[in-house]
Amino acid sequence: MKIQDSGMTGTQAKPPSPGRARRGRWLAGIGAITVVALLIGASALVFAQLKQHQAGQTTPAPPVAQWQQVLKGYTLNSLVAARSNPAVLYACAVQSATSPSGQATITLLHSTDFGDHWQDIGSKAALNETCKLAVNPSNANEIYAITIAKNAQGTEVLRHSTDGGQAWETIQPVLHVPASQATALWIVQQIQMEGNHLFGMQWLIPRAKPQDLPTTEFPLLLPRLVTSVDGGHNWTVIDNQFAAQQLGVHSYAVDPTNPGIIYDLVGQFLLPLKDVPTNDPLPYTGLNQQLFKTTDGGATWQMLLNAMPYGSLVQLATANPQLIYVGGAIGPLPLAPGAAESPSIAPGSFHLQLSTNGGTTWKNVAIPSDMQSIQSWFVSPGGQVYASPTIPFTSTPTTITVTAVPAPPLPGNLQHAKLPASPPSPSPSVMERGPGGEANAQSNAAAGALTQNVPVATSQTIRRYDPTTDSWSDVTRPPVPGFMLQLTPAQPNSGAILWYTGAAANGQMTLYRFVA
């Protein structure tokens, strides 16, 4: 019987010749090498893309030296970029449209492409009345948000997300205070995260009231620096050494390479607390601040600077934390009730001191004569200072009408504390401005209008100070009147993106971006 092989009908298979076998093996070897090379190349590409993703470079940086309008219809209170991936942004904002009750609606915005597109995740975060943010510097998806609990007490709670704000857990923080101070509600400002530490400024009410305070009952707020190492569940005071001198923290900075290294700028109370002579229109310009440093997480403190003008801030360069600045606009505290009103209030002078060795030595930065009034200033990762706006003033004072707007009420049981009949209005020096650029008044201001003779601004220019050349240079003119909200890095450890907010031609609040 003849067996028919399908595919080989009527033929008989012959063994290949030795030459053909060698050529086949040679071709197979070349093919295997090619496949291996392709696999290695593909793996290298995948690992390179993964490395870029981890470094925050998957999204191309926006165009340089161009103002771009990136958001309309929201008024931003703060903006925070993830240090590991600066393309990822979170912002506390207020929608332009108000609720039926007339109250502004607070919300949370999220962007993954340097602000070109935004997602409103406020409903997922369940924010209420207030919003303060911190982002994990090594994980762009982990964020913390402080807001008001929706309960009868109105206490603050901590919201936590590990997936970029899509899902949240609620944390009820517990504050552990020294025995010498009264138990206080957890009320943290200027929240920040470095390593596995959360930091913030906590308002405490001392148990004992100083003897020279007036008998009128009102909140005596003593801000303390607090920290949490368990994800925000438990908080402890780390600068209580200054409580006996009635000094509270006004500004702080943490070394990103070592959370145990902290700079604490402390000063006296943020409110005028006693009567002053009626012939002394600016009684509190003499109050000073002091800069301290700890290298052991607050166990011991060393004074670095003394007699700093009230209203100063401390900031450091995240890519070079040995480079530290202390400065700000010199300005008086709010006038005490009943004090004589000054016929004119000149803008405070901008001052700046720089240390390049962790605070061991300092130098005064020369300020140009036309930079006497600075609304805000920020330090880039590389250590350059961006100050805005630089406002030259006319020499002749002009009479204008200024309307004082009441600040938001204090949270918790501080809302119902009895205040003086005519509480003072907080100046910019007694307002919070944290890492996210947020500013919140710490006391209620009396509504109304008053007439003052003040110089009129003629132009605005954002300027940059370079410590390597010890010089200032013009960067750009903002597109509209407004203020610089924040500075974020363009790369994880370099570059500078300026965020500016102001009213567009149609009057709508608008966010602008400029890559310096």
Q: Per residue in 354-367, pLDDT tens?
A: 999 999 999 999 99
pLDDT digits (tens, 9 = 90+) for 264-280: 999 876 554 444 444 44
Q: pLDDT tens across 107-134, in order?
A: 999 999 999 999 999 999 999 989 999 9
Length of the chain: 516
Higher pLDDT, 286 or 415: 286
Asked if residue 472 belongs to a domain, the reply is yes
pLDDT at 349 (0 to 100): 82
How much is the pLDDT for 463?
Answer: 96
> Where does residue 64 rank: exposed (0-12), middle (13-18), buried (19+ CB within 10 A)?
exposed
What pLDDT shows up at residue 351? 92
Question: Quick one: pLDDT at residue 348?
Answer: 64
pLDDT over 70 at 167, yes or no: yes
Q: Residue 25 has what pLDDT?
A: 52
The string of pLDDT tens digits covering residues 2-41 is 333 333 333 344 444 555 454 555 445 545 444 444 444 4
Quote the pLDDT of residue 307. Answer: 85
Position 460 confidence tier, pLDDT thresholds 50, 70, 90: confident
Residue 146, pLDDT score:
96
Domain contains 35: no
Higher pLDDT, 151 or 349: 349
Ranges assigned E (strand) in 123-173: 132-135, 143-148, 156-161, 169-171
Q: Give me the pLDDT at residue 421, please.
A: 31
Confidence of residue 104 (pLDDT cuts 50, 70, 90): confident
CA atoms of 295 and 262, how far apart (whole Å): 7
pLDDT at 177: 85
Q: How far apart are CA 84 and CA 266, in angstroms?
A: 30
How many angstroms separate the CA atoms of 362 and 100, rounded?
54
Q: What is the 3-state secondary structure (H, E, C) of 272-336?
A: CCCCCCCCCCCCCCCCEEEEEEECCCCCCCEEEEEEEECCCEEEEECCEEEEEEEEEECCCCCCC
Q: Count how many domains the chain has.
A: 1
pLDDT band, residue 58 (cuts 50/70/90): low
* Residue 353: predicted pLDDT: 97
pLDDT confidence of residue 287:
65
pLDDT of 56 strictly over 50: no
Does 418 reside within a domain? no
- For residue 68, what pLDDT is reported? 97
Q: What percent of the chain has pLDDT over 70?
A: 62
Residue 187: CATH number of its domain: 2.130.10.10
Is the residue at 31 inside a domain? Answer: no
Is the residue at 417 inside a domain?
Answer: no
On whether residue 362 sits in a domain, the answer given is yes
Q: Are 15 and 21 in contact (CB under 8 A)?
A: no
Looking at residue 205, its pLDDT comes to 64
42 lies in some domain? no
**Structure tokens of 9?**
């009908």
In a domain, 340, yes or no: yes
Mean pLDDT score of the chain, rounded to an integer? 74
Q: Is the pLDDT of residue 459 over 80?
A: no
Instruction: Reply yes or no on whether the pLDDT at 315 is more than 90.
Output: yes
pTM of the complete model:
0.74
More confident residue, 413 or 175: 175
- Rounded mean pLDDT of 91-101? 75
Distance CA 302, CA 295 (A): 9
Query: For the range 359-368, what are the long-range contacts, defined as Cβ-Cβ under 8 Å and sequence gap of 24 or more?
Result: 359/263, 359/291, 359/293, 359/304, 359/305, 359/324, 362/304, 362/305, 362/326, 365/325, 365/327, 365/465, 365/470, 366/470, 368/463, 368/472
Residue 380 reports pLDDT greater than 90: yes
Identity (one letter) of the amino acid at 456?
V
pLDDT classification of 332: cutoffs 50, 70, 90: low
Please compute the mean of the pLDDT values over residues 331-344 and round it to a whole number. 44
* Token pair listed for 388: 């805005």
- pLDDT level of residue 50 (50, 70, 90 thresholds): very low
Asked if residue 42 has pLDDT above 50, the reply is: no
Class of residue 25 by CB neighbours under 10 A (exposed 0-12, middle 13-18, buried 19+)? exposed
pLDDT digits (tens, 9 = 90+) for 203-249: 876 554 444 444 444 445 678 999 999 999 999 999 999 988 888 99
Give the residue carrying structure tokens 């009684």.
283
What pLDDT is recorded for position 424?
31
Question: Which residues constitute the domain of residue 256?
Answer: 63-412+447-515
pLDDT band (50, 70, 90) for residue 163:
very high
- In this prediction, residues 505-513 reach a mean pLDDT of 91
